[in-house]
Amino acid sequence: MSSDINLVSSKTHQLEKELERLKALKIIAVGSLSVVALISILLFVITITLPISSVKKDKEQTLSNISALHEKLVKYSLINNRLSDISGIIKSRKNYDLLVSTVLNKLPADLSVDSMTIDSGTFTLVISGVSLTPIDNFIEDIIVLGNEEKIIKNLVIQGLLANADTGKYTLTLKADTL
Amino acid sequence: MEIDIKTAKKVNLNSQAITTVYRHYKDNFLPIGIIIACIGILFFVIAPQFKNYLSSKEELKTQTQKLKFLKNNYNFLLSLDDSKTDTDFKMLSKVLPPNKDFVGIMSAITIVASKTFVTVEDFDFTLGDLNKVDDNSSKYPLIKINVNIGGSAKDIAKFIAELYKTVPASQVTSIKTAGNVSSLVINFYYKPFPPQNVNSESFVVPISAKNQSLIESVSLWNSSGLDAFPDVSASVSGGTNPSPF
């Protein structure tokens, strides 16, 4: 008796394959439907749970609270504004008092100031005395001051005059202020 | 007639053939249709919804940040000491007046002269229209004053040092000393209050430590008295209210 007899026809085999394919298609279809439904529901839920409206409401409430303090806000903003302006003015102004007092502190007692001019960044000083020694000392001190370039710079001795009638020496100095 | 679609080489697409194909595959149509519809829904409905969700999330983040910022502003404003704010504002408005404060200028010169023991000989200044800001090329509007002061050069240095610690804010731009008389050119600054369109949503900048020390330093400046501020302003501005509120 032959054992090689094929009882399953090729048609039946093909039908089974088609049924399997159909089953797979149905599973994929149901799966897709479930996935789409699940994503839709999830998306809907997480979108509606975003608390945008409550945050906006809270923001409006806070804004209205701030509006009640508007005068305070304006005053505070003006204070900041004024501080910035005052700081700018203080920073930009020339400390001529420091220049004058520093230069005059170097002036020996036996010399006197004839005239002093500070204008448009230029400092001119005319001093006089009966002896050349204090004038020399003063020049040395003022040169150091000019070299430091903290208060004055570009120091120039414009002239040293001797007046035979009065017996006085007059020194004229010029420098740029810093 | 039955057509084996697997083996058929040539098929005539007549209605009978279509019917046969339909019968053969009709069970497949529904799942394939569902799969195609799902893909369509995924691309045309869910994808835009997801995009919308992302933008909503982004908006929520922005709104939350704004809320946090506004709450900080609100709490900061609440924590401010009303009386200190008021005093600081008045004091700073005296240091840099909102208008041509000629009373303040006169007081400053008088106070400084008496403190430094110099004599004010004569002075002249032009105020112009009291309600109009002078069109100066400088950043801050100013009133220029020529004043002759009796005193030595050292006294003038003291006068300037004291003037720089006196309200309103000023700057000496020129000194001409001859003998015991000095001619000074002094700029007294003022600045009108800027328009008050402060937005409630704008950031409230806390006063920096540097500016806090500036407040403390200018509060020690010579002044004719803080209470004089409203009267001075009223008299200078010809009755107009200098208050920005």
Residues A151 and A121: their CA atoms lie apart, in Å, by 11
* B47–A contact, CB cutoff 8 A: no
Domain range summary for chain A, segments of one domain joined by +: 10-50, 52-92, 96-177
Query: Which tokens hold the place of B117?
Result: 């023991």
* A112–B contact, CB cutoff 8 A: no
What are the residues whose beta carbons fall under 8 Å from the beta carbon of B182, sequence distance 6 or more?
A: A116, B148, B149, B151, B153, B156, B175, B176
Q: What is the assigned CATH class of domain A96-177?
A: alpha beta
pLDDT (0 to 100) of residue B182: 92
Residue A73 has pLDDT above 80, yes or no: yes
pLDDT (0 to 100) of residue B130: 62
pLDDT (0 to 100) of residue A8: 57
What's the mean pLDDT when you consider all of chain A?
89
Can you list the residues of chain B whose pLDDT is less than 50? Answer: 1, 226-241
The count of other CB atoms within 10 Å of the CB of residue A17 is 10
With a CB-CB cutoff of 8 Å, which residues 94-123 of chain B face chain A?
A: 95-96
Assigned architecture for domain B82-192+208-236:
2-Layer Sandwich (3.30)
Residues B164 and A101: their CA atoms lie apart, in Å, by 15
Q: Considering CB atoms only, which of B161, B174, B196 is closest to A74?
A: B196
B151: which DSSP letter?
A: S
More confident residue, A15 or A171: A171
pLDDT (0 to 100) of residue B132: 65
pLDDT digits (tens, 9 = 90+) for B219-232: 999 887 644 444 43
Contacts of residue A121 in chain B, CB cutoff 8 Å? Answer: none
pLDDT (0 to 100) of residue A4: 60
Q: Considering CB atoms only, which of B153, B171, B193 is closest to A100?
A: B153
Name the residue of chain A whose CA is nearest to B142's CA: A89
pTM to 2 decimal places? 0.74
pLDDT digits (tens, 9 = 90+) for B157-175: 999 999 999 989 999 999 9
Mean pLDDT across the stretch A115-141? 92
Q: Do B92 and A82 touch (CB under 8 A)?
A: yes
Contacts of residue B80 in chain A, CB cutoff 8 Å? Answer: 72, 76
Q: How far is CA A81 from CA A55, A103, B99, B105, B227, in A?
A: 32, 37, 15, 22, 22
Provide, rounded to the nearest whole percent, the portion of chain A with pLDDT above 70.
Answer: 95
* B173–A contact, CB cutoff 8 A: yes
pLDDT (0 to 100) of residue A58: 94
Q: Do A75 and B174 touch (CB under 8 A)?
A: no
pLDDT (0 to 100) of residue B200: 80
